[in-house]
Amino acid sequence: MLSRTGDLDFAIENPATLGPLRMLLGEKIAFEEFTVVIREPTDKPSDIKGFHRDMIRDYNRRMEIQYISLIYYLTDVSENDHCFSIVPETHNRLVDMKPEEVKAGDEVDITGRAGTAIIFHGRCIHSGKLKPHSQQRRTLHL
């Protein structure tokens, strides 16, 4: 779809996110993923993936993860809605933490209005946190 239309170029060429990404990664940036995720209301207690690291999920290979992820909220996400949840510093100072060691309260839930951009290191432990009374949540992942 990206090669046939320019309708989604704003997500890649957004100066509010492209500038910080260039500062972190340099001028030669490649986007590997461009995915829209729609989370419907559910009574499931947790995401099927649970807390995890992206790309290389093998704990012993965690240091191989060298990329930045960007998530845009396409809908408003309140404290009652499904949200992105992250364990800070698990890309660096807490890199030896295993996803199964995450305890309630270790994570930070990210809420925000539609258009909110979340930039994080792919090595950080994170999850899509499901909430029982959520509205539909739409996100764009780069």
pLDDT band, residue 118 (cuts 50/70/90): very high
pLDDT band, residue 15 (cuts 50/70/90): confident
User: Which among 111, 61, 65 has a CA at the least distance from the CA of 85?
Assistant: 111
Q: Is the pLDDT of residue 76 over 90?
A: yes
**Contact criterion met (CB below 8 Å) for 110 and 118:** yes
Residue 91 sits in which domain range? Answer: 35-141
Count structural domains, the chain: 1
Sheet with 83-86, side-by-side order of all strands? 108-110, 83-86, 126-129
In a domain, 11, yes or no: no
In a domain, 19, yes or no: no
In a domain, 15, yes or no: no
* Counts of helices then strands in the chain (DSSP H, E): 2, 7
Q: Is the pLDDT of residue 132 over 80?
A: yes
For residue 2, what pLDDT is reported?
65
In a domain, 70, yes or no: yes
Q: What is the CATH number of the domain that holds 70?
A: 2.60.120.620
Q: What is the CA radius of gyration of the chain?
A: 15
**Contact criterion met (CB below 8 Å) for 93 and 66:** no
